[in-house]
Amino acid sequence: MTIQLTHFSAAFVFALFASIVFGITHRETTRDMVRYGLYCFAMFLGGALLAGWAMWLVRK
């Protein structure tokens, strides 16, 4: 069984699961875990989007 993800959905899935693990393992309290997980998710996905737009500008 194979699956074909788009580039964005692959980045989304990666950011989601990596952020969950980072949140759980890098913070002590539940509240801090959630906050750090959301922060990591935003940074992962925001970074990918920014890099994508930067490459579009360079190509243009």
Partner 1 sequence: MANSSPAKTKPAAAPAQPTSMMSVIAPAVGWLIPGAGHIIQKRWIRGLLLLVSIGTLFVLGLMMQGHIYKANGGDILDMLGFIGDLGAGGMYIVTLAMNGGQGAIAFAIADYGTKFMIVAGLLNFIAVADAYHIAIGKKA
Residue numbers of the site for partner 1 (CB under 8 A)?
Answer: 1-5, 7, 10, 13-14, 16-18, 20-22, 24-25, 28-29
Measured from the CB of residue 40, what is the shortest distance to partner 1 in angstroms?
Answer: 12
CB distance 45 to 14 below 8 Å: no
CB of 19 to partner 1, least distance (A): 9
Question: Which residue's CB is nearer to partner 1, number 5 or number 42?
Answer: 5
| 51: exposed, middle or buried (Cβ count in 10 Å: 0-12, 13-18, 19+) | exposed
